[in-house]
Amino acid sequence: MKEQFGPWAVVTGASSGIGEEFAHQLASMGLNLVLVARNDVLLKELADLLQQKHNVDTKVVKLDLSDPGFLPVLRDVTDPLDIGLVVSNAGFATMGAVLSVPVASLQQNLALNASAHLALAHHFGERLLARDSGGILLVGSTTGLQATPYAGNYAGAKAYVHGLGQAMNYELRKTGVHVSVLVPGPTRTDAITTKTDFELDRLPAPLMSTEKLVNIGLKGLRKNKPLVVAGAPNRMVDWMNRKLFGHKGGRMMLGMMMERVAPPNRTVAGRQS
């Protein structure tokens, strides 16, 4: 990894969950890290740990990637560095029927889950193209493979990420720049296991460990796979939606599954009652 994508990597959403695991695995491979998230306390703790454990250099950048003006701050830190890898992982979902969530919250989520990926991919893509090597890994979601009721805004944003990454993979296929989209399903993170409104851990799907997920994603990037759907169960569901149920059937199936874990105040009927 260091020879192919080093010496520096940027990881967004690095303070916890999937992003934190990316930081651990990349540091274990010898890559220096720029760690980006809103919680600088957790980032500094992680940076200190990685420096001590793996003898790598780290830089901490406190940023809210839903802020459209985030890029100049990140550029100030990264412009002097030889960035060879970008893991665009930061994301957040406000679950519920579209009309049960304030539009301002949906717009903020859309900026984080879609626009931030575009800004990072475009800026660092130009830099990697100039050095004719490197990698961009965008983190999508299985919700983006199929319209998902009660996660419509998040699913739409992730579908955009899927399309963006796969298009860039083709456009850069004759260069030394790899672009892959990692597509996680339910993953054992605090975002799922401690969520109190939507009980996502009750969905009929096994929770994948962050360690396994990140390993799959990095392997896919090294092979320059455009779309990496992580895990056999997720690939099976994707195949069933596309080949057996179709878009309408898949939407109905996911809608019924999500209704079982949705609190009444996050359904349109519940909000109106």
27 vs 194: CA distance, rounded Å: 27
| Residues 126, 134: Cα–Cα separation, whole Å | 11
Could you give the CA distance from residue 28 to residue 31 in angstroms, rounded to a whole number? 7
- The four Cα atoms 78, 81, 85, 87 give a dihedral, to 10 degrees, of -20
CB 32 within 8 A of CB 57: yes
Under 8 Å between Cβ of 125 and 229: no
Neighbour order of strands in the sheet with 134-139:
58-62, 32-37, 8-12, 83-88, 134-139, 177-183, 227-229
Tell me the H-state helices in the chain: 2-5, 17-28, 40-54, 71-78, 103-110, 116-131, 152-171, 190-193, 210-222, 232-239, 246-261, 268-272
Active site residue 154: yes
Catalytic residue list contains 158:
yes
Which is the catalytic residue, given 59, 150, 158, 195? 158
Whose tokens are 């994948």? That residue is: 208
Q: One of 150, 154, 160, 225 is an active-site residue; which one?
A: 154
Cβ distance 51 to 57 under 8 Å? Answer: yes
* Residues with active-site annotation: 154, 158
